[in-house]
Amino acid sequence: NAGVMQNPRHLVRRRGQEARLRCSPMKGHSHVYWYRQLPEEGLKFMVYLQKENIIDESGMPKERFSAEFPKEGPSILRIQQVVRGDSAAYFCASSPPLAGGIVEQYFGPGTRLTVT
């Protein structure tokens, strides 16, 4: 059973370009979470999605950032018009349905975004 897959592992963008980060959850997992890790910081929650539905986007910046998890294909985190402050590691995690309790999240290896 493959783990959570993220690609690319490293992404370099110039200021003003768009960044697209992909996440394929573990088989059987229908829930995806995105976290951002700034240098010397812990991970910060960004968004929580189910297939075709955003459940919680309370951690997403109000502008330039969007996320989707379509019926088919990976979850995408999209950053428009990137700025240097967007340079960070972006981690995706997946879990099975919550079923009213707390469930473990399984993390991918992350995408390291560098904005030049």
Partner 1 sequence: GNSVTQMEGPVTLSEEAFLTINCTYTATGYPSLFWYVQYPGEGLQLLLKATKADDKGSNKGFEATYRKETTSFHLEKGSVQVSDSAVYFCALSDREGNNRLAFGKGNQVVVIP
Least distance in angstroms from the C-beta of 18 to partner 1: 24
In the complex, what is the shortest distance from the CB of residue 30 to partner 1, in angstroms, rounded to a whole number? 13
Tell me the three state secondary structure of residue 85. Answer: helix
Phi, psi of 84 (to 5 degrees): -60, -35
Determine the Cα–Cα distance for residues 80 and 95; give it in Å rounded to an integer: 27
Q: How far is the CB of 1 from partner 1 (least distance, A)?
A: 15
Whichever of 72 and 99 has its CB closer to partner 1, that residue is 99
What is the binding site for partner 1 (CB under 8 A)? 4, 6, 31, 33, 35, 40-45, 48, 55-56, 59, 91, 93, 95, 98, 100-110
- Is the CB of residue 78 less than 8 Å from the CB of residue 24? no
Choice between 83 and 98, CB closer to partner 1: 98
CA distance 11 to 13: 7
